[in-house]
A = this chain, B = another copy of it.
Amino acid sequence: MSLALYTYWRSSAAYRVRIVLNLKGLAYEARPVHLVNDGGQHLKDEYRRVSPQAQLPTLVDGDTVVRQSMAIMEYLEETHPEPALMPRDARGRAKVRELMQAVGTDIHPLGNLRVLKALESEFGADQAAKEAWSRRWIRHGFDGLEALLADGTAGRFSFGDAPGLADACLVPQHYNALRWGVDLAPYPTIRRVVEACQALEAFRKAAPEAQPDAP
């Protein structure tokens, strides 16, 4: 069964899935879709046939097509259970999903490229205003996430002492935080967990700059 991933080097949702594929030791064909070139290759009919929402990433697994990064991550966990990237008990799994959503729904959608473009077209936001907007929601989200992690959930990683799906959401968001110049001093648990992740090749190999389509 061959896996293919529609990806863009700097898409943080694609970055999550690349981490999971690497942690599972799964080989995949990278199919780059450039979000800026050609007016956005994701907006072309060719890609819309793959993703009606014109969004990255999309996973192709034989004749199964899965869109939405967090759905893809759970799909990979179900179809390739080892190594496990979620705990087995419902309570632990709920905690991991809570941490995933704290990034995936509370932070990431607000700093999305299409949202920043809309701030510009609707409200005349300039580059500085767009960056301040991105920082605002990362800080807001990290305030909550730091508390959720520091309540005893985190071990070396976001949940316990093995890397998992929550880490795969956190690391790309941390990358964006650095990119936008967010002060990370108030988030010692987040910084410590990210450092543990970055020591692993699975995370480093998934980084934007390590992708074949990076400039």
Given A93-B74, A94-B75, A98-B66, A53:B123 Cβ within 8 A: no
CB <8 Å contact, A104 and B106? no
- Chain B residues contacting A104 (CB-CB under 8 Å) are 101, 105
Query: Per a CB cutoff under 8 Å, which of B53, B74, B97, B143 touches A68?
Result: B97
- Chain B residues contacting A136 (CB-CB under 8 Å) are 118, 122
- Chain B residues contacting A67 (CB-CB under 8 Å) are 98, 148
CB <8 Å contact, B144 and A105? no
Contact with B along A79-104 (1 / 0, CB 8 A): 10000000000110111011011101
Q: Does A129 contact B (CB under 8 A)?
A: yes
Most buried by B among A68, A123, A129, A144: A68
- Chain B residues contacting A147 (CB-CB under 8 Å) are 52-53
Write the residues of chain A forming the contact surface with B, with a CB cutoff of 8 angstroms. Answer: 52-55, 64, 66-72, 74-75, 78-79, 90-91, 93-95, 97-98, 100-102, 104-106, 108-110, 114-115, 118-119, 122-125, 129, 132-133, 136, 140-141, 143-145, 147-148, 151
- Give me 10 A-to-B residue pairs in the complex whose CB atoms sit less than 8 angstroms apart, sorted by A's number: A53-B102, A68-B97, A68-B101, A71-B98, A75-B91, A75-B93, A79-B90, A105-B105, A119-B123, A123-B125
